[in-house]
Amino acid sequence: MWLDVDGHRYQNGSTKTMIFGVANVVAYVSQFMSLQPGDIISTGTPPGVGMGIKPNPVWLQPGNVMRLGIEGPGEQQQNVKAYSA
């Protein structure tokens, strides 16, 4: 799992860096709902979140380009836009 913002790698990790292993997460979630093939369990994010960067946190800005990916499923890209109500 990795995340780049404007070509700079901020996050890089794998399921090995998770606090709880995949089997534990699936077992826990299965107590509350029926899982079907193709279901996605959101597990959080690998180390390197922008707000944790010391001494100057990094926040997404309009115009930033995020690329993220995970081995197997592939990659995606998103362009950060300004919020308008």
Spatial contact of 49 and 57, defined as CB atoms under 8 Å apart: no
Mean confidence (pLDDT) of the chain? 91
Residue type, 83: Y
Predicted pLDDT at 79: 97
Look at residue 36 in the predicted model and tell me its pLDDT. Answer: 95
Where exactly are the structural domains of the chain? Answer: 2-79
Instruction: Report percent pLDDT > 70 for the chain.
Output: 100
Identify the three-state secondary structure at position 77: strand
Q: pLDDT-based confidence at 13, cuts 50/70/90? A: confident
Tens-place pLDDT, residues 46-79? 888 888 889 999 999 999 999 999 888 899 999 9
